[in-house]
């Protein structure tokens, strides 16, 4: 798969390294010519293009036409939005992922701007902290599908309505499913006869419509 990354900062290069190691074809577009020349020698397997990823001509010269995915990974939200919109509208890139730097801007990162998936670092950090300190609360870990689905986590309290109940008897809505149960630092693959216990970390894939019902089932 060909993955184009806009921005050769710390985030962009981390993605390039990881995705390249996974066997993907990587293209990095960076406006800082000196930075491109310096990084090119250290990352010979990456295809480099020195140019402004917010300009159609630069994206065309870089070869974005054949990309399967674009990751707008700069530290500037405006640049990431422009990059995402051009990738979708001018080059019909099938999948566009954009980095959100300022939490107040997250609402902009949607299909209107060509963004299929947005990743908000501040919100992810807040979710991780909340997950670490919260028991008996539903915590959203990740938003998927332009907000239509997401991964949520609950650490079951002693008084949770589902403690001591098998998954087959919980009565989950059809548009939600338990992905994993983490118990004593071990992953329990959820099955119908799996019985939930206090302290279990339950990770659930939910839709926007089912989230409230899942909260009621697991939290009460």
Q: What is the pLDDT of residue 183?
A: 86
Look at 19-23, 68-72, 75-79 and tell me which has the smallest mean pLDDT.
Answer: 19-23
pLDDT at 2 over 90: yes
Q: What is the spatial distance between Cα 54 and Cα 176, in angstroms, rounded to a whole number?
A: 38
CATH architecture of 134-218: 2-Layer Sandwich (3.30)
Give the whole-number percent of the chain exceeding pLDDT 70: 88
pLDDT value of position 87: 96
Quote the CA–CA distance of 115 and 143 in Å, as a whole number: 13
Mean pLDDT, rounded, for 41-55: 93
The set of residues, in sequence order, having a beta carbon less than 8 Å from that of 154 and lying 6+ positions away, is: 136, 137, 138, 139, 160, 201, 202, 204, 215, 218, 219
Query: What CATH class is the domain 2-119?
Result: alpha beta
Give residue limits of the domains in the chain: 2-119, 134-218
| Position 137 pLDDT exceeds 80 | no
Say yes or no to pLDDT of 128 above 80: no
């Amino acid at each position: 798969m060909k993955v184009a990354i806009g921005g050769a900062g710390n985030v962009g290069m981390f993605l390039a390294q990881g995705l390249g190691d996974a066997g993907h074809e990587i293209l990095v577009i960076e406006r800082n010519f000196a930075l491109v020349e310096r990084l090119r020698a250290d990352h010979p397997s990456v295809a480099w293009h020195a140019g402004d990823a917010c300009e159609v001509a630069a994206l065309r010269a870089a070869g974005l036409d054949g990309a399967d995915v674009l990751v707008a990974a700069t530290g500037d939200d405006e640049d990431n939005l422009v990059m995402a919109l051009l990738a979708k509208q001018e080059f019909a890139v099938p999948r566009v992922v954009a980095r959100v730097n300022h939490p107040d801007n997250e609402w902009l990162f949607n299909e209107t701007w060509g963004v299929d998936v947005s990743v908000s670092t501040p919100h992810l950090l807040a979710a991780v902290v909340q997950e670490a300190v919260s028991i008996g609360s539903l915590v959203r870990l990740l938003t998927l599908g332009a907000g239509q689905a997401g991964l949520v986590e609950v650490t079951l309290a002693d008084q949770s309505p589902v403690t001591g109940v098998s998954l087959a008897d919980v009565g989950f809505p059809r548009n939600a499913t338990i992905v994993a149960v983490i118990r004593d630092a071990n992953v329990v693959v959820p099955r119908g006869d799996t019985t939930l216990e206090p302290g279990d970390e339950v990770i659930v894939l939910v839709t926007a419509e089912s989230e409230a019902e899942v909260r009621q089932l697991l939290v009460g």
